[in-house]
Structure 1
Amino acid sequence: MASQAVEVEMKYDVGQDAEVPSLAEIPGVTRVGEPHVDTLEAVYFDTQTHALASRDITLRRRTGGVDAGWHLKLTAEGPGSDEESGDAAGGSGSEPRRRRELHAPLGQPGVVPDSLLAHVLAYLRGEDAAPVVRLKTQRTTYALYGGDGVHLADLADDRVSAELLGAAGGAGGAGDAAVGDTAAPEGEARTREWREWELELVHGSPELFPAAEEILAAAGALPAKHGSKLAKVLALAARESGAAAGPKSPGKKGPVSDLLTAYLAEQISEILAHDPGVRLEEPEAVHDLRSATRRARSALQAYRRFYNALAVRHLGTELKWLGRVLGVPRDAEVMLDRLRGHMAELPPILASAVKDRLEDDLGASRDAAHRKLQMAMVSARYFQLLDGLEGFLDNPPVRPGAAAPARKAAVKLVAKAAKRLERAARTAKRTRRGAEHETALHQVRKDAKRLRHVAESVEPVHGKHATKIAKAARRQQQILGDFHDSVVARDLLAKLAAAPDLPEAVASAYVTLHTRQVQLAADAEAEYRKERKKSRKVFRGTVI
Structure 2
Amino acid sequence: MASVLGDVLAAVIQEQVTALAEHERGVRDDAPDAVHQDRVTLRRLRSVLAAFSADLDPAATAAGLDLPTLTGRLRDTARAFGLARDAEVNAELAAAAIAGGAVAAGPATDEVLRVLDEAAITAYQEHRQQAVALLDDLGPDTLTAVLTALAAVAEQGAGDGDPEGEPLAADAEAALARVIDEQAAHVLRLARKAKRAAPEDAATALHEVRKKAKRLRYTIEEITARDVAVPPGRQDVVDAAHRIQKHLGTHHDSVGLIDFVRETVAERPATGRRALSATVAFAAGELTGAERAVQETALRKYRAARRALRDALA
TM bin, normalised by shorter chain, reads 0.7 to 0.9
Q: 2:149 aligns with which of 388, 391, 396?
A: 391
1:302 touches 1:413 (CA, 8 Å); kept in 2? yes
Q: For the structure 1 residues 516 and 382, does the alpha-carbon distance in structure 2 shift closer, same or farther, using more than 3 Å as the test?
A: farther
Question: In the TM superposition, what is the alpha-carbon distance from 1:311 to its structure 2 partner?
Answer: 1.9
The yes-or-no answer on 1:475 pairing with 2:243 is yes
Q: Is the Cα contact below 8 Å between 1:428 and 1:441 reproduced in 2?
A: yes
Q: Any idea what SS the aligned residue of 2:229 has? A: helix
Match of 1:439 among 184, 204, 213: 204
Return 5+ residue gaps in structure 1 as ranges.
Answer: 1-250
Aligned counterpart in structure 2 of residue 451 of structure 1, from 216, 219, 227? 216
Task: Say which of 10, 20, 25 aligns to 1:271.
Answer: 20
- Tell me, in whole angstroms, the C-alpha distance in 1 between the residues paired with 2:243 and 2:209: 12
- Report the counterpart of residue 259 of structure 1 in structure 2: 8
Q: What is the correspondence of 1:133-282 to structure 2 with a 5 Å cutoff? A: 252=2, 254=4, 256-282=5-31
Residue in structure 2 matched with residue 513 of structure 1 by the alignment: 287
2:228 is aligned with 1:461:
yes
| CA distance in 1: counterparts of 2:118 and 2:18, whole angstroms | 36
Choose which of 166, 170, 177 in structure 2 pairs with 1:411: 177
Greater C-alpha radius of gyration? 1
Deviation sequence 1:311-362 (CA, Å, 0-9, x none): 2101101111220121111110111111122233222122123233223322
User: Which amino acid letter does the alignment assign opposite residue 422 of structure 1?
Assistant: L
In the other structure, the counterpart of 1:312 is 67
Match of 1:352 among 106, 110, 117: 110
Cα distance, 1:463–1:418 mapped onto 2, change above 3 Å: closer
**In 1, Cα distance between equivalents of 2:15 and 2:308:** 30
CA drift at 1:497: 3.8
1:362 corresponding residue in structure 2: 120
Quote how far apart the aligned CAs of 1:403 are. 3.2
Structure 1 residue 390, shift from structure 2 partner:
0.7
Structure 1 position 380, deviation (Å): 4.5
Moved more, 487-496 or 317-326: 487-496
Q: Which residue of 2 aligns with 1:423?
A: 189
CA gap of 1:258–1:491, structure 2 versus 1, over 3 A, is same
Q: Do the aligned partners of 1:428 and 1:440 also contact (CA within 8 Å) in 2?
A: yes
* Aligned partner of 1:341 among 96, 115, 134: 96
Which among 83, 86, 91 is matched to residue 328 of structure 1? 83
- Percentage of pairs with the same residue: 29
Deviation at 1:252, TM superposition (A): 2.2
Is the contact made by 2:236 and 2:309 (CA closer than 8 Å) also made in structure 1? Answer: no
Structure with greater contact order relative to length (CA < 8 Å, sep ≥ 6): 2
Within 2, Cα distance between the matches of 1:252 and 1:394?
A: 20
Structure 1 residue 522: Cα displacement: 1.3
Q: TM-score, normalised by structure 2?
A: 0.81
Gaps of 5+ in 2: 158-164, 271-275
Q: Which residue of 2 aligns with 1:45?
A: none
- Give the Å deviation of 1:294: 0.4
Q: How far, CA to CA, are the matches of 1:392 and 1:522 in structure 2? A: 44
1:54-110 deviation per Cα after TM superposition (whole angstroms, max 9, x unaligned): xxxxxxxxxxxxxxxxxxxxxxxxxxxxxxxxxxxxxxxxxxxxxxxxxxxxxxxxx
Deviations 1:465-520 (A, max 9, x none): 66775554333212211100111112232333445514212211121111012221
State the shift of 1:458 in Å. 4.0
* Larger fraction in helix: 2
Whether the 8 Å CA contact 1:257–1:403 is kept in 2: the answer is yes
Task: Report SS of the residue matched to 2:31.
Answer: coil
Equivalent residue in structure 1 for 2:254, among 454, 475, 486: 486
CA contact (8 A) 1:297 1:319 kept: yes
Distance 1:253 1:395 in 2: 17
Q: Is the Cα–Cα contact under 8 Å of residues 194 and 206 in structure 2 kept in the other structure? A: yes
Amino acid at match of 2:208: Q
Q: Offset of 1:530 from its aligned partner? A: 2.3
Please state whether the residue corresponding to 1:281 is helix, strand or coil: coil
Secondary structure of residue in 1 paired with 2:300 = helix
Contact 1:452 1:469 in 2 (8 A): no
Write the distance in 1 (CA, Å) between the matches of 2:173 and 2:111: 59
1:280 to 1:469, Cα distance in 2 relative to 1, 3 A? farther
| Secondary structure of the structure 2 residue equivalent to 1:395 | helix
In 2, the alpha carbon distance for the partners of 1:395 and 1:408 equals 20
Q: CA deviation at 1:298?
A: 0.8
Q: What is the CA–CA distance in structure 2 between the aligned matches of 1:273 and 1:373, rounded to whole Å?
A: 16
1:452–1:471: 8 Å Cα contact kept in structure 2? no
Q: 1:274 to 1:302 in 2, by over 3 A?
A: same
Distance 2:83 2:247 in 1: 21
The letter for the 2-side match of 1:296 is L
**Alpha carbons 2:3, 2:171 under 8 Å: kept:** yes
Question: 1:412, 1:374 → 2: CA distance?
Answer: 37
Distance 2:223 2:82 in 1: 27
Partner in structure 2 of residue 288 of structure 1: 37
Give the direction of change, closer, same or farther, for the CA distance of 1:469–1:372 in structure 2 (3 Å limit): same
Q: Distance in 2 between matches of 1:416 and 1:445?
A: 16
Give the aligned CA root-mean-square deviation in angstroms. 2.6
Residues 287 and 472 (structure 1), Cα distance of their counterparts in 2 relative to 1, 3 Å cut = farther
Q: Distance in 1 between matches of 2:239 and 2:33?
A: 21
- The superposition leaves residues 245-302 of structure 1 with CA deviations (integer Å, 9 ceiling, x where unpaired) of xxxxxx5263x33332222223223223333332333322221221111011011111
Contact 2:47–2:219 at 8 Å: present in 1 too?
Answer: yes
Alpha carbons 2:3, 2:173 under 8 Å: kept = yes
